[in-house]
Chains A and B, each alone.
Chain A
Amino acid sequence: MEDEKRIGVYICHCGLNIAGTVDVEELAQYAAALPNVVVSRDYRYLCSDPGQDLLKNDIKELGLNRVVVASCSPRMHEHTFRKACQAAGLNPYLYEHANIREHCSWVHADKEQATQKAKDLLRAAVQRVHYHEPLEVREVPVNPNTLVVGAGIAGIEAALKIANGGHKVYLVEKEASIGGHMIQLDTTFPTLDCSECIMTPKMSEVGHHPNIELLAYSEVEEVSGSVGNFKVKVRKKARYVDEDKCIGCGICEQKCPWKVPSEFEVGLGKRGAVYIPFAQAIPNIATIDKDHCVYIQSEGKKCGACIKFCDAGAIDFEQRDQIVELEAGAIILATGYDVFDPSQIPQYGYRKYDNVITALEFERMTCASGPTSGTIRLKDGKTPRSAAIIHCVGSRDKNYCEYCSRICCMYALKHAHHLKEKTNADVYGLYIDMRCTGDGYEEFYKRVSEEGVIFIKGKVANVTDRAITEEEKGKLVVIAEDTLLGKMMRIPVDMVILCPAMIPRSDATDVARKFSITQKATGFFLERHAKLEPQATAVDGIFIAGCCQFPKDIPDSVSHGRAAAAAALELIDKGSVTTEAAISCVDETLCHGCGICEEICEFQAPRVVLKDGKRVSTVNEALCKGCGVCAVACPSGAMSIKHFTRDEIATMIEALTAVENG
């Protein structure tokens, strides 16, 4: 039996943040009179070192075995005070926290009412701390390998940082080559660096790095385990090409008689049914697209040209998908983004008019290695003499994506510049607000303005080919109000470039589910803290990088990738993780082994096993997250959740419903 409860109560003034509204001295006196309270103090800033010392000294000198702090939110400082308890030799779980700032002094102006509420919250905390039991935090070793999912610029950066740090990385990419969206771009704003030129060295480094095991054309199937020890199943899709034999010469694609629109060229060019997506692909291995391969579709009765022409004998139609099992201590998701499909907004005429194109299509068009070898041209081959660039297509629009897609203003300026540079066309930029917030961005805007691009502040209502004047004949007419002039504009142009929003990947929900992470209302992955932990997720050990979190430009994606890498390295270098202590536990004398807990748990923590011939549930402590769902579902009361037991909650309810006079 434990000795008598000796509770210390500490009330923080938080300067005037609490003391300005709550009578802290009265509160301290009130607490002093509660059962088993040995000492009750108030102090200006408890989170300060002298504040924590107060508590530590009392634990030692007064023999406290329970501590209650009333201060800001436990989400802010519970950890601080638990650590202080631990430093003084008290189990950190013999601590309880009352939130009298965020939930009291800051939201109630009436001093008397706020003080009364603070008393209630404190009383409940003191009553509850009686029931707390010491809990042990266990240490589990961390597997030093990291899994990075997605090999765009963010994933590549993260993988390289970790690999250069001397740790193994598994880099999984679902496409046939790494590179992501960045390798599709022509130049990068505002410096106009050639995107390929800065990206390919990184890609090549990934391809040759001794610490990186690249799994391209692969997708994660299943994830289990928890921080420090994830088990991952990856599906390595069949390329029907022997990776060890293929030398990437490209003969097969040349000889392949079946051509389909190239994904890399966003439909502007064609590729073979067997193909290498682009010249600098990593790995430089051909892939057979089974949906379009006539040999596969005819079950080997037709074609087979690639087999004939491949000198290396790399074509292997017997190849099947492979499941590769990996173990990793940390996971970084850098799955990127999709581009909003502008045909959802019919008034912009995308896919209706030939010369309405997206910004990404324009990227490929201006790119020297692209299908037009960098020539900007209309569908009929002519050079455009005028062009309109429409900003915010789908973004900043309640009907589609409410958020600002962040990078569109800048690439729109870049496209305007290239249009001017390469065609000297009349260029109109139609924007809602011009957002140029990065280093050198505003200067770039100024430069492009000076190049003669005409900017019109107005959201485009319509793009039409119905001419009402002679001048408009044969042109696309962009209709918008110039809101600065208050004048309706009809601008006849040869080419319209749409700047569509960056949107979450179409499979983001599946991915989120696989990795047990959450999404925001927008569908992007939710970070643990929007400001302080943008690279972490709610799941320990799973980090996010790049545009899967929210639209980012390249420097932000790079930083985010490196931040995720640092977080993973922190975990690896520490070498061990502590597991959640407030988890479920089973009273085997009450358990029937019905398995309701097993069925309800999302983390496979409880399992019914046979013990001495009896069916009984056991909790895998490494998997349990402490959500308590099983404890509530258990019909016999065998399952309970530590730190949130029935008695603990019941005593809080009782304390908080009591209405005192005064």
Chain B
Amino acid sequence: MAEFEPRIIAFACNWCTYAAADIAGTSRIQYPPNVRIIRVMCSGMVAPEHISLALENGADGVLVAGCHPGDCHYISGNLKADERFQMVSKVVSILGVESQRVRLKWIATSEGPVFAQTIKDMVNELKELGPSPFKESRSADRARPALALEDMLQETKAYYCLECSKCTSICPVARYDPSYSPRAMIENAVLGLGSENIHDKKLFSCLACYACSLRCPSDVDYPAFMRRTREMAFRSGEYGCPAHGGFLHSVTRLMSRSPYKQKRLGWLTGKYKVSDQSDTMFFVGCTPYFEPIFGYLGVRALDITEASLKILNSSGVEPMLLADEKCCGHDALWTGDTETFQRLAGHNTKLIKEAGTKKIVFSCPEGYRTLKLDYPAHGFELGCELQHISEFAAEKIEKGELKFKEFSKKVTYQDPCRLGRHLGVYDSPRKVLEAIPGLELIEMEKNRECALCCGTSAFTNCGLYSHEMRVDRLREAEASGAEILVTSCPKCQVHFECAMNNRSEEKGPDIDIEVVDLANLVAGALA
């Protein structure tokens, strides 16, 4: 077998590193032919998803290279590149990928020899590491079976649509973006114009909030219809306008195809009691990844995880945490990437079964929904009890095992779509909140089945409609007279914080309400 030749993708800034590579050429400095340069105007133009996409595509190494600090043609683009690169490095390291595969280097125009040496060094290091494991999975993904439109329409009962348009009139997306219509989507599909839906970017606007399905007189499962249509779209290379450049989806795909052992529990300290022998498992979910990615919003996602552990420990439960738990696959499933979902579900199911778990507790409603409904629907039977942390806490409160101190605040509660409309869990979180002495729970105008979604889902489209929805919801929360908006989904918190984030000089939506996860509030009030 021929010697392994690593493939390096180098993003080189036009003004310094690309020019340095030119100088290396002019000076005829020889270096191994393993590198492929992509010219960008500035290293600050390199997005996190570019790096993860290169890894996904099987690049053995990725180099981001630009001007030395202070030399940027655009003043500080390289410093921005550095900031983002640090974020990506953290994510890549949690994934378990060797740090040598992803690199940032400043190479000035005059440093042709430095460029050549950098490539030589990288090639040598990568040869020692061996080929990227993502290379194989990439070729394996190529052949996918096609979905039959006919089957899909049957399965989701779309044929039964009466065109009454109750779905569109209740749809929160349609309310803010009148060009979006669930009814029209169904109609197109039934008329055999499915490919129009597939190439319509709006396909990725649906929140799967299930407001429509609850109203449909014909029992059409619109979210399932939309999910199946997205599957077809995904196979034709459509993905809408994913928020955050699709970086989160890319990370999920990497995770699903990764043989690496993750380093996802680096945050865990002796402060919390966990046990590998426990028959109760806590599903950590995506928070270790959210921590670096959403740090810029001031969201500390791991706080929610830590608070949940505190609640479990206070109830005498020392849960098991899976060191190599992977993403539940929710976002993959809802963006039509079933291949990724299947891989993730398979991996998690195997680990959970091997662990002999009897009960799994979630702080994230998406993980809860996915393991509870979607895993079995795709043939991944877990055979154990599943609970959201709010249900767990409600049960313990009833038994008198959790005690609280006084917490005199007015709060209101956001029903996350997955916990509420998807799974019907409305009472437990409210019971928990009401058990805290001094706390006054005020309902927003739209609550329970009628609650308004936090505006975006699965990090797909996140247009103006999404922002307006969130702002309206926050205003509603504020109007209720509550001081704190409690949610029980880490993503709701991210989306709400994002909506309140204003960095421009133009005055932003004037909302000032604290958004707190239920777990954090409960853990903070524990006696």
Write the residues of chain A forming the contact surface with B, with a CB cutoff of 8 angstroms: 73-76, 99, 101-104, 106-110, 113-114, 116-117, 120-121, 124, 513, 516, 518-521, 526, 538, 582, 587-596, 598-600, 602-603, 607-610, 614-617, 625-629, 631-633, 635-638, 641, 644, 646, 649-650, 652-654, 656-659
Contact check, B245 vs A656: say whether CB atoms are below 8 A apart: no
Contact check, A629 vs B504: say whether CB atoms are below 8 A apart: no
**In the complex, chain A residues whose CB is within 8 Å of the CB of B245:** 632, 637, 646
Contact check, B57 vs A657: say whether CB atoms are below 8 A apart: yes
**In the complex, chain B residues whose CB is within 8 Å of the CB of A596:** 501, 503
Contact check, B9 vs A656: say whether CB atoms are below 8 A apart: yes
Instruction: Encode contact with A along B11-35: 1 for CB under 8 Å, 0 otherwise.
Output: 0001100110110111011111100
**In the complex, chain B residues whose CB is within 8 Å of the CB of A519:** 70-71
Q: Is the interface of A mostly helix, strand, loop or mixed?
A: mixed
Determine which of B37, B70, B502 lies in contact with A103 in the assembled complex, contact meaning CB atoms within 8 Å.
B37
A–B complex contacts, Cβ < 8 Å, 13 sampled: A102-B21, A107-B24, A107-B29, A121-B36, A518-B70, A526-B71, A592-B498, A598-B504, A602-B74, A615-B508, A644-B45, A649-B40, A657-B59
**In the complex, chain B residues whose CB is within 8 Å of the CB of A589:** 177, 463-464
Determine which of A598, A626, A653 lies in contact with B54 in the assembled complex, contact meaning CB atoms within 8 Å.
A653
What are the nearest 6 A-B pairs in CB distance?
A595-B504, A102-B25, A628-B45, A608-B504, A657-B57, A627-B74
Give A106 Cβ to nearest chain B Cβ, in Å. 4
B73 at the interface (CB under 8 A from A): yes
Identify the stretch in B76-84, B210-218, B312-320, B378-386 within 8 Å (CB) of chain A at 4 or more residues: B76-84
B72 at the interface (CB under 8 A from A): yes
B505 at the interface (CB under 8 A from A): yes
Instruction: Encode contact with A along B61-97: 1 for CB under 8 Å, 0 otherwise.
Output: 0000001101111111100100010000000000000
Residues A629 and B80 in contact in the complex (CB < 8 Å), given A538-B15, A656-B38: yes
B330 at the interface (CB under 8 A from A): no
Determine which of B19, B44, B71, B498 lies in contact with A627 in the assembled complex, contact meaning CB atoms within 8 Å.
B44
**In the complex, chain B residues whose CB is within 8 Å of the CB of A629:** 42, 44-45, 74, 77, 80
B183 at the interface (CB under 8 A from A): no
Contact check, A615 vs B506: say whether CB atoms are below 8 A apart: yes
Using A107-B116, A593-B504 as known contacts, list a sample of 17 further A-B pairs with CB atoms less than 8 Å apart, ordered by residue number in A: A518-B70, A518-B71, A518-B72, A519-B71, A590-B462, A599-B503, A602-B75, A607-B505, A627-B77, A628-B40, A629-B74, A636-B243, A636-B466, A653-B9, A656-B9, A656-B36, A659-B135
Determine which of B80, B116, B462, B463 lies in contact with A600 in the assembled complex, contact meaning CB atoms within 8 Å.
B80
Contact check, B504 vs A108: say whether CB atoms are below 8 A apart: no
Contact check, A106 vs B26: say whether CB atoms are below 8 A apart: yes
Minimal Cβ-Cβ distance residue in A for B244: A635
**In the complex, chain B residues whose CB is within 8 Å of the CB of A582:** 41
B411 at the interface (CB under 8 A from A): no
Give A279 Cβ to nearest chain B Cβ, in Å. 41
Contact check, B53 vs A653: say whether CB atoms are below 8 A apart: yes
Residues A108 and B462 in contact in the complex (CB < 8 Å), given A75-B14, A75-B22, A637-B242: no
**In the complex, chain A residues whose CB is within 8 Å of the CB of B108:** 521
Inter-chain CA distance A519–B67, complex, in Å, is: 11
Contact check, A592 vs B33: say whether CB atoms are below 8 A apart: no
**In the complex, chain A residues whose CB is within 8 Å of the CB of B74:** 602-603, 625, 627, 629
**In the complex, chain A residues whose CB is within 8 Å of the CB of B80:** 600, 629, 632-633
Inter-chain CA distance A106–B14, complex, in Å, is: 19
Inter-chain CA distance A35–B228, complex, in Å, is: 30
Inter-chain CA distance A588–B7, complex, in Å, is: 39
Minimal Cβ-Cβ distance residue in B for A117: B33
Minimal Cβ-Cβ distance residue in B for A600: B80
Contact check, B58 vs A595: say whether CB atoms are below 8 A apart: no
B491 at the interface (CB under 8 A from A): no
Contact check, B47 vs A653: say whether CB atoms are below 8 A apart: no
Give A609 Cβ to nearest chain B Cβ, in Å. 6
B343 at the interface (CB under 8 A from A): no
**In the complex, chain B residues whose CB is within 8 Å of the CB of A633:** 80
Contact check, A657 vs B21: say whether CB atoms are below 8 A apart: no
B46 at the interface (CB under 8 A from A): yes
**In the complex, chain A residues whose CB is within 8 Å of the CB of B72:** 518
Inter-chain CA distance A121–B12, complex, in Å, is: 14
Instruction: Encode contact with A along B501-527: 1 for CB under 8 Å, 0 otherwise.
Output: 111111011000000000000000000
B332 at the interface (CB under 8 A from A): no
Inter-chain CA distance A593–B80, complex, in Å, is: 20
Contact check, A598 vs B45: say whether CB atoms are below 8 A apart: no
Contact check, A632 vs B504: say whether CB atoms are below 8 A apart: no
**In the complex, chain A residues whose CB is within 8 Å of the CB of B504:** 593-595, 598-599, 607-608, 615, 617
Residue among A99, A629, A636 facing the most chain B CB atoms (10 A cut-off): A629
Give B301 Cβ to nearest chain A Cβ, in Å. 16
Write the residues of chain B forming the contact surface with A, with a CB cutoff of 8 angstroms: 7, 9, 14-15, 18-19, 21-22, 24-26, 28-33, 36-42, 44-50, 53-54, 57-59, 67-68, 70-77, 80, 84, 108, 116, 135, 177, 241-246, 461-464, 466-467, 498-499, 501-506, 508-509
Contact check, A627 vs B506: say whether CB atoms are below 8 A apart: no
Minimal Cβ-Cβ distance residue in B for A106: B25
Contact check, A595 vs B506: say whether CB atoms are below 8 A apart: yes
**In the complex, chain B residues whose CB is within 8 Å of the CB of A649:** 38, 40, 47, 50
Contact check, B22 vs A103: say whether CB atoms are below 8 A apart: yes
**In the complex, chain B residues whose CB is within 8 Å of the CB of A654:** 53, 57
**In the complex, chain A residues whose CB is within 8 Å of the CB of B53:** 650, 653-654
Contact check, B503 vs A592: say whether CB atoms are below 8 A apart: no
Contact check, A632 vs B84: say whether CB atoms are below 8 A apart: yes
Give A635 Cβ to nearest chain B Cβ, in Å. 6
Residues A657 and B54 in contact in the complex (CB < 8 Å), given A101-B25, A632-B47: yes
Inter-chain CA distance A421–B246, complex, in Å, is: 78
Residues A103 and B59 in contact in the complex (CB < 8 Å), given A121-B36, A589-B463, A656-B38: no
**In the complex, chain B residues whose CB is within 8 Å of the CB of A625:** 74
**In the complex, chain A residues whose CB is within 8 Å of the CB of B7:** 656-657, 659
Inter-chain CA distance A641–B116, complex, in Å, is: 30
Inter-chain CA distance A644–B467, complex, in Å, is: 26
Contact check, A637 vs B9: say whether CB atoms are below 8 A apart: no
**In the complex, chain B residues whose CB is within 8 Å of the CB of A638:** 463
Contact check, B9 vs A657: say whether CB atoms are below 8 A apart: yes
Residues A107 and B464 in contact in the complex (CB < 8 Å), given A102-B22, A538-B15, A608-B504: no
**In the complex, chain B residues whose CB is within 8 Å of the CB of A518:** 67, 70-73
Inter-chain CA distance A104–B501, complex, in Å, is: 46
Contact check, A614 vs B464: say whether CB atoms are below 8 A apart: yes
Determine which of B18, B41, B508 lies in contact with A75 in the assembled complex, contact meaning CB atoms within 8 Å.
B18
Residues A644 and B15 in contact in the complex (CB < 8 Å), given A103-B25, A636-B462, A656-B36: no
**In the complex, chain B residues whose CB is within 8 Å of the CB of A626:** 41
Residue among A108, A121, A518, A608 facing the most chain B CB atoms (10 A cut-off): A518
Residues A75 and B77 in contact in the complex (CB < 8 Å), given A108-B33, A615-B508: no
Contact check, B19 vs A75: say whether CB atoms are below 8 A apart: yes
Minimal Cβ-Cβ distance residue in B for A112: B33
Inter-chain CA distance A605–B407, complex, in Å, is: 47
Determine which of B57, B466, B499 lies in contact with A653 in the assembled complex, contact meaning CB atoms within 8 Å.
B57
Contact check, B36 vs A632: say whether CB atoms are below 8 A apart: no
**In the complex, chain A residues whose CB is within 8 Å of the CB of B177:** 589
Residues A636 and B463 in contact in the complex (CB < 8 Å), given A75-B22, A595-B502: yes
Inter-chain CA distance A607–B506, complex, in Å, is: 8
Residues A74 and B39 in contact in the complex (CB < 8 Å), given A592-B499, A641-B45, A644-B45: yes
Inter-chain CA distance A632–B466, complex, in Å, is: 20
Inter-chain CA distance A646–B50, complex, in Å, is: 8
Minimal Cβ-Cβ distance residue in A for B134: A657
Contact check, A588 vs B464: say whether CB atoms are below 8 A apart: yes
Minimal Cβ-Cβ distance residue in A for B110: A530
Contact check, B70 vs A657: say whether CB atoms are below 8 A apart: no
**In the complex, chain A residues whose CB is within 8 Å of the CB of B46:** 632
Inter-chain CA distance A627–B466, complex, in Å, is: 28
**In the complex, chain B residues whose CB is within 8 Å of the CB of A592:** 462, 464, 466-467, 498-499
Inter-chain CA distance A75–B54, complex, in Å, is: 25
Minimal Cβ-Cβ distance residue in B for A124: B36
Inter-chain CA distance A549–B74, complex, in Å, is: 19
